[in-house]
Amino acid sequence: MSHAVKGGHGHKPVKTQVSKITVAGPLKEASRALSALASAGIFHPEEGKVTDRGLELEGMEDLADRIVKLKSLVELIGPFFKGRRVPKHQTLPLKDLKQKADQLLIKADEHVISLLEKEKQLNRDLEALKEDLQVMTNLNQDIDLGVLKSRNVFMAAGKMPTDAVKKLKEDLVAHLPEHVMISGFWDEGWSYAFIGVILGNSDKLKQMLDEHKWLGIHIPKASGKISEIADILKAQIRATEKVIHQARSQLVDAVASLYPNLVAVLEMLENYYRVVELAKYARQTKYAFFLEGWVPKSQKVALLKLMQKTDGVVVKEPEFDPEDAPVFIQHNKVSKPFYSVLSLVGPPKEGKFDPTPTLALTFPLFFGMMVGDVGYGVLITLMALLLKDQMNALFKSLLGKEFGDFSKVLLISGITSIIFGFLFGEVFGNLAHGLLRPILFDRLEGIVPLMVSSAVIGVVHLNFGLLIKFFQELAHSATHAILGVGSWFLLQGVVVLLALGQTTPGLVLLTISVIFMGKFEGIQGVLEIPGFVSNVFSYMRLAAIGLASAGIALAMNVLASMAGAVAGILVLILGHSLNLVLAILDPFIQSTRLHLVEFGGKFYTPARRHYTPFSISNKFTGGEMIWMD
C-alpha cells in the first residue's frame, strides 16, 4: 500500500516530490529485491518500459492457472462465509504455497463441492415435490390415480388456458367418448387436468391436445386418492427441507474451516504474480538486473534500508527532467476526496497551482446550491454515511480508483444541500410550505435574483481562476502577468465604465486591454474574449438545475395530492426517488464541468501521469516481504 506523507498542500505551485532511482544487482537477488519493492508499496516503475523481454523469475509457472481456480472457488463458497473474520496468515515460500494451493483445491473438491452438489440436488428434488403438490392441490376431484394407471389406459397430465377447457371437453366427447378427464383451476388463468383414454387412442389424444395449447406436466409417481397423495407429498417436502437444512449446516461448517486458508493462499499467489508483473519493467543481462522508477523523496531512506537486506543490490539516483516525473501530492483529510474530481483531467503539472483546496470549498457549495432542498440533502447525507462502501465502490467502478473515497464528497455536499434548503425554504419541494419559510427567497418565485446570483458567482469564480493564472505567470514573467493576464481584469473594468455611462474612458480602456492581450496572450487570447462571457453564462446552470429540481418536486407533490391516499404515497415515493437520483447526478456533472472547464480553463495545465506505486494486498496476509527463493 502507498505510504502517504503527513501535511496538506495548499495553494502553492506543485513541486517535484519524487526522486528517480535505478535499482541494480546480481540476477540471483532479483526476486528478493522486486518482492521487497512490491511489498513496500512505495515504488512507481518507469512507464513505457514493458516488453516481452522483461526479467524472468523462476518458479512462476502455473501461477495464473491456480489463481483462476481459487478465485472461482472463493466466489462460489464466499456467500456461505459472510460476516466472519479471516485471521492474518504468514506468507509461505512459493514452493510450499503451490503445494498448499493444490491441497486446498483437492480438499474443496472432496468436501465442499460435493456438499454443494448435494444441496443443489436436494433443492431440485424439493422443487419437483412442490410442483407435484401444486398439481394435486389444484385438482378439484378426489379420485384414486391408481385407477388411471392401468396397462390398458394412457393418461396425459398437463395444463392449458382455462378459457380453452370447455372446447377441449366438447372435442373429447365428440371424438373420444370413452375418456376420463379430471380438471382443476389454477389462479393464473391456467387449468390442470388428467385425461385418460384407452391405450389404442393415445395418438389421437396427443394430436387433439396439441391443438388446444396443452402443456404436459409431471405425473406424481404414486397411487391412491389425490388427497392422500397430497398429504404424502407434504410429508416428503418437510422431510426434504429438514435434510436440506442439515446439508446447509454441514456446508457452512466445511466452508468455515476451508475459506480462511483459501482466501489467504489466493492473496499470496496474487502477490507473487504481482511481482511477476513488476519484473516486466526490469531488464537483465547474463549476470545482473536493473529497474528504473520513482519513489517519494520522503521514502528514499526506507527504500535504501529495504535494499540493504539483499546481497549486492545498489540504488542510484540519475538526473531527470521534473516534467517527466509522476505527480505526487499530499492533501489533508478534508481536501483529499476532492482530488478525485481533478483526477478526471489529470494531476497539476510541475510549477502549476493545485486547485484541490479550492474545489473542497466551492464544489460542495455549487452542488448544494443546485440541490437546495433539506429533504434531498438529508437523504444524500444519510446515503453517504450508511452506504459509504457501496457508493465508493459504485463511483470507483464508473469513474476510476481515484473515486474510492467519493462518499466524503457526497457527505459534505449533502450538508451544503441542507443549508441551501433552509435558505430556499424547500423540503421535498413545497411539502413543508407554511412550516419552513425561505431565509433568502423561494427559487420558483425568485428566478431573477437566482439567475443574477449565479452570474455573480460565475464572475467571482472565473476571476479567482484568472488570479491564480496571474500568480503562476508572475513566477516566470512579471511583465506577462501584469500586462497579459492583467488585461482580462481591465476588460471587466470596461464593462463597469460602460455600465456607469463612461463611454469614452471605457473605449480607451478597451483599446489598451485588447492591445496588451494581443501582444502577450496572442490572437487566441483576443478570440477568447467572447468565450469569457460565455463562461459567465455557463454558471447560469447553477440556477437552471436548481429550478428544474424544484419544479419536478413541486410537480410530484401536485400529482400526489390529486391521486388519492395510497396512489398519492406511491407517486411521492417514486417521483421523489427519481428526483433524488437526478439531484445527485446533475449537480455532480455540472459542478465538475464548471470547475474543470470554465474555472480550470483559465489556469490549469494537467500533468502526464499520477504517482501510482506498485503494491500488493495485505488484507489476509502479513505485510512482510515475500521471499521467493
Q: Where are the beta strands (DSSP E) in 87-152?
A: none
Its pTM stands at 0.70
pLDDT digits (tens, 9 = 90+) for 502-512: 777 767 777 77
- Cβ atoms 484, 517 nearer than 8 A: yes
Q: What is the distance between the alpha carbons of residues 613 and 116, in angstroms, rounded to a whole number?
A: 41
Report phi then psi at 540, rounded to 5: -65, -20
420 Cβ neighbours under 8 A, 6+ residues apart: 368, 369, 371, 372, 373, 377
Q: What is the pLDDT of residue 619?
A: 86
Q: What is the distance between the alpha carbons of residues 318 and 80, in angstroms, rounded to a whole number?
A: 53
Domain 18-55+280-324 class? alpha beta
Q: What is the pLDDT of residue 6?
A: 37
Q: What is the pLDDT of residue 519?
A: 67
Q: What is the pLDDT of residue 341?
A: 86
Residue ranges in the chain whose pLDDT is less than 50: 1-10, 52, 629
Q: What is the pLDDT of residue 388?
A: 81
CA atoms within 13 A on the CB side of 32: 15
Q: What is the pLDDT of residue 524?
A: 66
Q: What is the pLDDT of residue 526?
A: 62
Distance of CA 30 to the CA centre of its chain: 37
CA 332, 333, 335, 336 torsion-angle sign: positive
pLDDT digits (tens, 9 = 90+) for 82-135: 778 888 888 888 888 889 999 999 988 888 888 888 989 999 999 988 888 877
DSSP state of 110: I
- Name beta bridge partners: 348: 606
Positions of CATH 3.30.70.2750 in the chain: 143-224
For residue 153, the surrounding DSSP H or E stretch is strand 153-161
Q: What is the pLDDT of residue 220?
A: 66
Distance of CA 492 to the CA centre of its chain: 43
Query: For residue 511, which amino acid is it?
Result: T
Positions of CATH 3.30.70.120 in the chain: 18-55+280-324
Nearest alpha-carbon partner for 461 in 369, 349, 586, 346: 369
- Domain 143-224 falls under CATH 3.30.70.2750: yes
Q: What is the pLDDT of residue 54?
A: 67
Q: What is the distance between the alpha carbons of residues 609 and 625, in angstroms, rounded to a whole number?
A: 28
